[in-house]
Structure 1
Amino acid sequence: MSADSEVLTYPNWVFSMFAFIGFLLSIIPLPWHLEAWNTGTCLFMIWTGLACLNQFINSIIWNGNVINWAPVWCDISTRFMIGSAVAIPAASLCINRRLYYIATANAVTITKSERRRAVLVDLGIGIGIPVLEMVLQYIDQGHRFNIFEDIGCYPFTYNTWVAYVVDVTWPLAIGCVSAVYCLLSIRSFNKRRAQFKELLSANNNLNSNRYFRLMCLAATEILCTIPLSCWSIYLNVTSQPIQPWKGWDDTHSDFSRVGQYPSVIWHLDKGTAISLETSRWFVIFCSMVFFAYFGFADEARKNYRAAIDSVAKRVGLSTGGSFGSTLWSSTG
């Protein structure tokens, strides 16, 4: 490996460990967010958690090998990767839309039908768009999938202008729309500070602290999604020439092929190595950012304490004092 193409390497078990931790960090707060019907937040957690789990499984199965052990799993895994790349920005868009409508609401009271409609719209954005993307990517899918040593299954998109329409530019477009909502929310908040507490009182599951944490989460995701999407497009354009679209038959002429690339091979191309590593670490970063904003909040500590008390009762222990400084004693 030349010095120019050298990329920071590390034991693969390090990624596997962080991927599993990312899965746990995304799933732990899910139950109480489901109870609160925070649709965008729940979608963010579910997509991020499953993306981490998917990468974890791939890193375990293809640790040190490129053997096509599970072709059906790879079909599912790569299709999910296509969807999750759009789904996480889409979940952030749902969060920003909700914050914007709260900040610009003219009425304090919200009817059940309005809440139901908002949930359905969020599901359409957070699930419908990713599923549509999974379907559309098949148009420009040059062959079945690739397998990279240590990384596992990876989708392949033939680099034509069609790919930019049906696949490559979607995260950037969603991130830009989300950024507009975020900026409008900030502007509306500054204009209506006096009404802000009254507006939040109409949302039983949202207080000022959670509102600002949601805004910080969405803003962080935007600040990452837009630059990374631009960079991804730049790599696609500069790393290889854009091929002319010659039709469905030409694109899918060798569709059953599976590309298999040992670590020593894919590390030779610095652009490819950085792109692969960035894409799989990004979902772990999303899970950690989410947990940083919500894993230590008041409702999180309350639920941790309730879980500890529940487990303690089952094993015959009692807890006393505040969370974090509990003195345990036997009851038997």
Structure 2
Amino acid sequence: MDSTEAPIYSMAVISFAASLSGFLLCISPLICQVSHRNLAASCLIGYMMISDAFYALNALIWSHGDVNSWWDGAGLCDIEVKIQIATQIALPGTLFCIFYTLADVMNTDRATLVPTRAERLRKQALEVTFCFVIPLVAMALHFICQPFRYGILGVTGCAQSFDESWVSFVLVYGWPPVICLLAAVYCVIVVVRLIKYKTEFSRILGSMGNRMNAHRFLRLFWLSSIMILIILPLQTWVFYTQVVAAIPFHPFSWEKVHGPDWNTIVMVDTLNQVQYQPWISVGGSVLLFLFFGLSPESLEMYRQYLVRLGLGRWFPSLNTPRPPTSFTFKFFSRISKGAQSLFSWTASRSIATFASFPSSFSAKLSNQSRSSSDEKQTITPVDTITAPHEIHQRCDCIV
């Protein structure tokens, strides 16, 4: 059957529209965080945008069920599967950086007006390690336990391949849940310190030269908390299902994993079904936009852009900056209402914040039996396979 005659899957259209929308929603939050030189937040949004872009592109390329006419994805999938490895590790890493900084802000034993050079270097090293170094190392280690080149799933697109041995879990699969647990520990530390110092919270922030109010601190905290509440159970479930599927582990053999048929490309038609990873990416993008794309700072940025486009001539109200009393302000006020009564905010002192979202992605393709003579193999339809730049004045975090 000719590819032009193959019917387009409805889920391909939905997945493309959703992923593209998620990508576009992240543009304004990324601009804001880059302008504030918030490394962890910028990396969080950047990884999310890359995931959205890949899933939107994949939905266009592999949008139908005619497997025989599919493109083999050479080049694109080779890069994409490695970036998937980096993303599923870097997203929890950005959360860890956020909670670590929030916990450090609330550490009254170490509160200083200006961070020392050693503190700045330590924080920069922490962010670079969790945002870049560990993901890059995992990308390289993936080759050790990569039994074939990659897989291609209908609509979802490129998928990683893993050898079902203990080596895969030690080198790649184990990173996301461990980092999520570390982030969860620091999340608990932040909660404990907020409760402990609830009556002194504003004084603590004000004594460190912060430039944003407690409302923004709370917004950052709630975003990160929502992310960790979603990511930690998800990563635990993914890790558990992968372990169960691989048991009993077979012995690792370099010769077997990197045999003569390693260059095989496994293609699977999922019958108009989409894996869970694109929806996680889209959901994360929406959360980022709600928390940062509709903030007073972002709305002011939109106003300035509209004025530069000349719309101020027809809408004179755009020429006058407005206080943050819009829908966004009311929206976050509702979100923080319960926490405000708990922590008893007593003043609106200044604080600059940092933020990120997590989510973590892991796509595992079952190790199908392969023909040693074919580089491109078609499989019959199967079920769905399952910190900121620096704390300036002690707290230069996400906005």
User: When the two structures are superposed, what TM-score results if normalisation uses the length of structure 1?
Assistant: 0.84
TM superposition shift of 1:206: 4.5
| Number of corresponding residues | 307
Task: Call closer, same or farther: CA 1:280–1:242 in 2, change over 3 Å.
Answer: farther
TM superposition shift of 1:48: 0.9
2:263 corresponds to which letter in structure 1?
S
1:87 corresponds to which letter in structure 2?
A
Deviates more, 1:142-151 or 1:105-114: 105-114
Q: Which runs of 5+ in 2 are unaligned?
A: 1-8, 328-399
TM superposition shift of 1:144: 0.6
C-alpha contact (below 8 Å) 1:63/1:150 kept by paired residues: yes
Match of 2:291 in 1: 293
Task: Call closer, same or farther: CA 1:109–1:96 in 2, change over 3 Å.
Answer: same
Match of 1:320 in 2: 317
Q: Does the alignment pair 1:127 with 2:144?
A: no
- What does 1:185-264 align with in structure 2 at a 5 Å threshold? 185-201=190-206, 202=208, 204=210, 206-239=212-245, 241-253=247-259, 254-264=261-271
2:20 corresponds to which letter in structure 1?
F
TM superposition shift of 1:318: 5.3
User: When the two structures are superposed, what TM-score results if normalisation uses the length of structure 2?
Assistant: 0.71
Q: CA RMSD in A?
A: 2.5
2:135 corresponds to which letter in structure 1?
P
TM superposition shift of 1:179: 0.4
C-alpha contact (below 8 Å) 2:165/2:252 kept by paired residues: no
Distance 1:299 1:152 in 2: 37
C-alpha contact (below 8 Å) 1:62/1:152 kept by paired residues: yes
Give the share of equivalent positions with the same residue, in percent. Answer: 23
Distance 2:296 2:257 in 1: 53
> Which of the numbers 159, 162, 165 marks the counterpart of 2:164?
159
Determine helix, strand or coil for the equivalent of 2:155: coil
Match of 2:19 in 1: 19
Task: Call closer, same or farther: CA 1:30–1:192 in 2, change over 3 Å.
Answer: same
Distance 1:69 1:168 in 2: 26
Distance 2:280 2:209 in 1: 32
Instruction: Show CA shifts across 1:72-110 (max 9, x none).
Output: 111001110111011111111111111111111432412
Distance 1:89 1:203 in 2: 29
Distance 1:279 1:207 in 2: 35
Deviates more, 1:148-157 or 1:304-313: 304-313
Match of 2:377 in 1: none
Determine helix, strand or coil for the equivalent of 2:162: coil
Distance 2:307 2:60 in 1: 35
Task: Call closer, same or farther: CA 1:235–1:98 in 2, change over 3 Å.
Answer: same
Task: Call closer, same or farther: CA 1:125–1:240 in 2, change over 3 Å.
Answer: closer
Distance 1:11 1:41 in 2: 31
Q: Does the alignment pair 1:107 with 2:105?
A: no
C-alpha contact (below 8 Å) 1:143/1:257 kept by paired residues: yes
Distance 2:248 2:293 in 1: 44
- What does 1:130-145 align with in structure 2 at a 5 Å threshold? 130-145=135-150
Match of 1:68 in 2: 71
Q: Which runs of 5+ in 1 are unaligned?
A: 1-8, 268-272, 326-332
Task: Call closer, same or farther: CA 1:124–1:207 in 2, change over 3 Å.
Answer: farther
TM superposition shift of 1:116: 5.0
Match of 1:46 in 2: 46
Q: Which is helix-richer, 1 or 2?
A: 1
> Which of the numbers 143, 148, 155 marks the counterpart of 2:153?
148
Match of 1:168 in 2: 173
